[in-house]
Amino acid sequence: MSIAALLACCALSASPPQAAAARPAPPPIPREFRAAWVATVANIDWPSKPGLPSGVQQEEARAILDRLAASHFNAVIFQVRPAADALYDSKLEPWSYYLSGVQGQAPEPYYDPLTFWVDEAHARGLQLHAWFNPFRAKQANAKYEAAASHVSKAHPERVRAYGDLLWMDPGEPSARAQTLEVVLDVVRRYDVDGIHLDDYFYPYPVADPATKAEIDFPDDASWGREHPGGDPAARADWRRDNMSRLIRGLYEEIKRAKPHVLFGISPFGIPRPGKPAGVVGFDQYAKLYADTETWLASGWVDYWTPQLYWKIDAPGQPFRPLLDYWIAINAKGRHVWPGLSVSRVGRQPGQGYEPEEILNQIKIIREAPGDDGVVLFSMKPVLQDRRGIAATLAEGLFREPALVPASPWLGDRAPAAPGLPIRPTPGEPTAWWAVQSRKGDAWTTRIQTSSRPLDAPNDADEIVVTPVSRTGVAGPNVTLEPARAGR
């Protein structure tokens, strides 16, 4: 008989207080954000190629989510808008080429991939964060034909050609409004746990093929309209303000729509050259017009995922000092969950990073102030278990399942203790159950969505169920034991 059936027929009962007091308490449940990016642009991670039948796409998605669950991850960051397109059913932007093989064409047979991914992730105890590229309209070297509803055809005044790219101009208010509307549409219609932006704000600089000189972003029209005869030196500040207005607006509007939905950004890992002292490299403040330090210090995010893709001892980009700098400017106490590059783990010994590089980076993150968390780029090496990285995590650093750290600034009310049979009770909604099962002296933990029947071993000697809110706040638990009848 399943545990759900036992509960339903009252074969399990809450243990008496005196009996519970005599037993050892279950071990604390770790708190750590453990996620991987699933990139859909250029079919990096999913689907494996454009135009696959829906059933094959779903099989590939389940394999990804099964791997994450088996390795005790607790979140997936799924790219739903790679190039002003949609890997979900949208009335605002066309279906993505990377899904169907034809931009504007739905998957065949029809299904909504984002609904599918949300449901399947939640069924495995995983959060689903929807990942958006805010302004890219077409990636370099992409050869597909744009749909009539794509912004490049429906609203060409919002789009600029930049090298081989098409880019929505952040200086156009209508372009910013489109991105905001698209994100809020997903927040309102889908049960996502988070919204995520990557590091593409203004585009990374493109060089002229003939002169090799850097080409300036072609926003003369939007700049000239807002600042006729303006000081050219002020243009960079104007561009940064365009991005900051979008970031702040996204944060505020997401909270108005659904306060519990996390908003996260994964910027380039260096704040600016010289920050901290000795760091060299790309200047995102000057080149991407991203004032990332202000965004984090102002609390316009719920989590911050700087892409710390360099080795621990990289001379110009040292891992620990960069991590410490981001933490030091985190004035509002938001989550700092760095991004790590498992894609650089070599397929053979001596190639690229050794798996130990990633493991040691996770250890450094755990030693740093604040809560723990990490996001791995990208999913493919995890799915392939390249050099045993997924198995090593599951058997080592991720050996015990973990709850996502709480975000009390989004709501600090705890759910009430669950009712019997196990069910949410009135008050603060319960999103997840943390289910701890004891067999003899050994405890196991499972995180599951509260919308599904309780899942625990049938032969457990004791089961402890803790309710967890959408903002990660845990409530009082209930201890269950097999009733005398039926055992």
How confident is the prediction for the chain on average, in pLDDT?
93
* pLDDT-above-90 percentage for the chain: 89
Distance of CA 258 to the CA centre of its chain: 17
pLDDT tens digit sequence for 191-234 = 999 999 999 999 999 999 999 999 999 999 999 998 988 888 89
pTM equals 0.94
pLDDT band at 22 (very low <50, low <70, confident <90, very high): low
Query: Which residues on neighbouring strands pair with residue 131, listed in sequence order?
Result: 79, 196
Contact 136, 165 (CB under 8 A): yes
Residue 381, preceding bond cis, omega within 30 degrees?
A: no
What is residue 7's predicted lDDT score, i.e. its pLDDT? Answer: 40
Distances (CA, A) of 345 to 7, 143, 351, 359, 430: 46, 30, 7, 11, 39
pLDDT tens digit sequence for 378-388 = 999 999 999 99
Distances (CA, A) of 265 to 139, 159, 199, 286, 402: 20, 23, 7, 18, 22
Q: What is the maximum alpha-carbon separation in the chain?
A: 86
Nearest to 294 by CA among 320, 332, 340: 332
Distances (CA, A) of 250 to 10, 198, 264, 285, 474: 47, 14, 11, 20, 28
Where exactly are the structural domains of the chain?
Answer: 3-27+412-482, 32-405
What is residue 482's predicted lDDT score, i.e. its pLDDT? Answer: 64
Could you say which architecture CATH assigns to the domain 32-405? Answer: Alpha-Beta Barrel (3.20)
pLDDT tens digit sequence for 442-478 = 999 999 999 999 988 889 999 999 999 999 999 999 9
Q: 368 φ, ψ to 5°?
A: -75, 160
pLDDT tens digit sequence for 123-140 = 999 999 999 999 999 999
Vertex 27, ends 21 and 28: CA angle to 5°?
110
